[in-house]
Amino acid sequence: MPELPEVEVTRRALAPHVEGRVIEGAVVRDRRLRWPVPADLVKRVRGQQVERLDRRGKYLLWRFARGVLISHLGMSGVWRVLPRAEGIPAPGRHDHADLLFALDCVRLTDPRRFGALLWHRAADGPVEFHPLLAGLGVEPFDPAFTGALLHRGTRGRSAAIKQVLLAGDIVVGVGNIYASESLFRARINPRLSAHRLGPARCDRLAGAIREVLAEAIAVGGSTLRDFVGADGAEGYFMLDAFVYERAGQPCRVCGGAIARIVQGQRATYYCRRCQSR
Ligand SMILES: [Zn+2]
C-alpha cells in the first residue's frame, strides 16, 4: 500500500511533467473509485493549467486557478507518465483515468479502486478546509512538527503510542510500516500508553519519524524510473527495515528475535529488548 514516501516520490516524479502545463483533454473510464469521480471532472480540468502539484498527507493536490483536483492512491494506485511521442498504450482494465498534456499522458491505474479523484472548487475556499484534509495532523517535515508538539498531542491519550501515530491527527504520514520503524529507532515500546511518553522520548520519536520518512523518500527517489515507468511495474519501494516484517529474525542492534503482535488489527513489529519500555 502506498504510504507518504511513495506519494511524495510520485509528486516529485510527476511535477516536471505537469506543473505549468495545460491539460488538453482527460478521460475517466471508471468513475467507481472510493468515492464517485465527479461526472463533470473532465470538463473542469480540460484547457486548464496545472499551477502546482502539492502533497498533503497522502493526497496529491493538483492546483488550478479554478480549483483543486484531489487525488489519492488508495491501496493500489499508481500514476504513470506515458510520453505521447512513444504512442500511448491502449488502456488496461485498471487504467481508470488519463490526463492528456501536450507531451505526456499521465495515467491513473488502480486495480483495487480505493483511490480517489475529486474536485474542489476555488470558490469554496482553501482546499485545506476540505473535509478530507481538515483533520490531518502536521506534515512530518514541517518545522512545526517537534517533540513538544508530539508531547502536547499525546497528553490525555491512553491508547498505545503506535495507534496514536497511525491516527494521523498529530502528524501525518506515519503508516503501519513507518510507525514500527520509527518506534524502534526511538527505542519506544509500541504498546506504551501515549500519555506516558515524556518530553525526551517525544523528541527522540519526532526525530526518528522524520529520519525514517526521509530515508524512505530517498530510497524511492533512487528507484524513480521504475516507479513511474511505462513498464507497468508496481514499483512500491521499501527502506531496509529494522523490524517491519522481520518477525523471528535477529534484531540488527541486539541480536534478539523481533516480535510480531497485533494492534488494532494491524501487525506491529518490535524488539522486546531494545524497546522494553
Ligand atoms: Zn534489539
**What pLDDT is stored for residue 181 in this prediction?**
96
**What pLDDT is stored for residue 268 in this prediction?**
98
Across 57-67, average pLDDT? 97
The range of the structural domain enclosing residue 248 comes to 147-271
In a domain, 141, yes or no: no
- pTM of the model as a whole: 0.91
**What pLDDT is stored for residue 224 in this prediction?**
52
CA of 253 from ligand 1 middle (Å) equals 5
Count how many domains the chain has: 2
Question: Both 166 and 260 in a single domain?
Answer: yes
Question: Both 60 and 163 in a single domain?
Answer: no
CA of 248 from ligand 1 middle (Å) equals 12
Other beta carbons less than 10 A from residue 233's beta carbon: 14
CA of 256 from ligand 1 middle (Å) equals 5
What's the CATH code of the domain at 30?
A: 3.20.190.10
Report pLDDT digits (tens) over 219-273.
Answer: 876 655 444 543 344 445 666 899 999 999 999 999 999 999 999 999 999 999 9
Report pLDDT digits (tens) over 140-160.
Answer: 999 999 999 999 999 999 999
Across 178-193, average pLDDT? 97
CA of 272 from ligand 1 middle (Å) equals 7
Residues with active-site annotation: 2-3, 58, 266
What's the CATH code of the domain at 218?
A: 1.10.8.50
